[in-house]
């Protein structure tokens, strides 16, 4: 036993904590309610390490074990790969493949052209990942562009699905989930109404992503929960002539099969059968899933219409949101830093970054390597990264966003209460 191993044991660290010495921690990639994600170097190369504070999930440790179990079972080219895990007295560490190619929309904006045909093949990669999950009785429950990452900066890089923090492994293919999940604007109506949900929620989210990718705006645009629920329940998807006239009918049909308010009416992603291919003397999966077999995903009927102007317009509107996210992210990291235990009595051994604003800036610039917001001091004489008026607008939006969050939380609780009462009341 090495001196380090002995020291860790004397400090009451779990046996797996010895693995931490293999990693050299780098910049912050993101932060959430339970912890942060940091880049790290090891002998196998760069990895991403999700660090979860145990005190933040006390009583819900099973969610970490579920995520670990799922990640270790997943082996697919379009799903982020599990690397390792270990724990300390007060934290869990989940190590995964590091995707360095940027988020979906950011990466597209860096290209000179992005056609409907390109979009069909991009969505096909996502759907193949979703199909793999569903075949293995896993529901992701948080499909959104931010969780779709390119593995490498190269043009030929694959797209991978990441962040399985709220994914669920079903005990049976028909199991009904009841906990709230998903992100505002991408969550299916049955989640928001607490009616119970399953694999179909991922198909709804994919429909929203596809729509947004093809026109640069969301099919459901209400900024209140009640309004969004009403829009989703109504299920009337509008393809405005100005933005959709050059997009194929097959693309619209594909979206229509996914954005069905009734989950039973949505296209599924279930494998229908397998066949033996005599010619190559090997087993080959023939996927006849309702969604995957859609003609639009072959690219044959997709147009060469360039979608880039609409997508860039969408991302331009997202710039101010990035500023708001910078403030929120810094606040989350600061809160996590304050909660972190000084467990190692070693200077600089803390996992939460010391410079909160710089870490938040790193996280946003990691998602978009060329479009991150500068947060560190600049040399004298250079123009500040954020104009005074923009900083003022961001502050105003942060305040308004906080007010909206409080109102949304109140509205969400009211809608949940009414939905629960309706579910419990005897039907006439």
String of DSSP letters for 21-64:
GG-EEEEEEEE-SSEEEEEEEETTEEEEEEEEEGGGGTT-THHH
- Residue 118 catalytic? no
Q: Give the position of tokens 């991403």.
A: 48
Give the integer Cα–Cα distance in Å for 326 and 322.
6
Alpha carbon distances (Å) from 246 to 111, 218, 312, 314, 365: 20, 18, 17, 18, 33
Residue of 104, 72, 100 whose CA lies nearest to 85 = 72
* Marked catalytic residue, from 142, 163, 250, 351: 142
What lies within 8 Å, CB to CB, of 343 at 6+ separation is: 11, 88, 89, 90
Residue of 137, 147, 43, 23 whose CA lies nearest to 85 = 23
Give the integer Cα–Cα distance in Å for 5 and 374.
40
Bridge-based pairing of strands 24-31 and 35-42 is antiparallel
DSSP 384: P
Q: Could you tell me if 149 and 80 are in contact, meaning their C-beta atoms sit under 8 angstroms apart? A: yes
Q: Which residues are annotated as a binding site for ATP?
A: 54
Give the integer Cα–Cα distance in Å for 50 and 35.
7
Phi and psi at residue 284, to the nearest 5° = -135, 135
Residues designated as active site: 142
């Amino acid at each position: 036993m090495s001196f380090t191993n002995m020291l860790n044991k004397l400090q009451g660290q779990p046996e797996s904590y010895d693995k931490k010495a293999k990693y050299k921690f780098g910049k912050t990639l993101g932060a959430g309610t339970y912890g942060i994600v940091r880049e790290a170097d090891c002998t196998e190369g760069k990895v991403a390490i999700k660090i979860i504070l145990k005190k933040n999930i006390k009583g819900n440790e099973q969610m970490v074990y579920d995520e670990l179990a799922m990640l270790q079972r997943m082996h697919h080219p379009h799903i982020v790969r599990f690397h390792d895990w270990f724990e300390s007295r007060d934290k869990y560490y989940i190590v995964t493949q590091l995707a360095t190619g940027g988020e979906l929309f950011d990466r597209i904006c860096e290209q000179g052209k992005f056609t409907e045909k390109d979009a069909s093949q991009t969505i096909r990669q996502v759907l193949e990942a979703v199909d793999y999950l569903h075949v293995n009785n896993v529901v992701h429950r948080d499909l959104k562009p931010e969780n779709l990452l390119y593995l490498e900066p190269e043009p030929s890089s694959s797209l991978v699905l990441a962040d399985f923090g709220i994914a669920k492994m079903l005990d049976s293919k028909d199991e009904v989930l009841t906990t709230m999940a998903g992100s505002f604007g991408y969550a299916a109506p049955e989640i928001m109404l607490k009616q119970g949900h399953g694999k179909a929620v991922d198909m709804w989210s994919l429909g929203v992503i596809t729509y947004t990718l093809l026109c640069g705006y969301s099919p459901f645009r209400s900024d209140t929960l009640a309004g969004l629920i009403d829009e989703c329940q109504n299920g009337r998807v509008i393809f405005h002539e100005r933005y959709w006239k050059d997009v194929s009918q097959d693309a619209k049909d594909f979206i229509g099969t996914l954005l069905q308010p009734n989950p039973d009416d949505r296209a599924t992603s279930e494998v229908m059968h397998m066949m033996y291919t005599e010619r190559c003397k090997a087993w080959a999966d023939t996927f006849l899933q309702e969604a995957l077999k859609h003609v639009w995903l072959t690219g044959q009927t997709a147009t060469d219409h360039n979608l880039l102007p609409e997508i860039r317009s969408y991302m331009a509107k997202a710039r101010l949101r990035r500023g708001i996210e910078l403030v929120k992210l810094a606040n989350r990291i600061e809160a996590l830093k304050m909660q972190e235990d000084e467990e190692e009595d070693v200077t600089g051994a803390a996992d939460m970054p010391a410079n909160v604003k710089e870490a938040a800036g790193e996280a946003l610039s990691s998602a978009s390597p060329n479009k991150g917001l500068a947060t560190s001091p600049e040399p004298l004489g250079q123009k500040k990264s954020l104009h005074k008026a923009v900083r003022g607008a961001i502050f105003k939006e942060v305040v308004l966003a906080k007010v909206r969050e409080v109102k949304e939380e109140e509205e969400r609780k009211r809608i949940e209460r009414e939905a629960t009462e309706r579910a419990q009341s005897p039907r006439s």
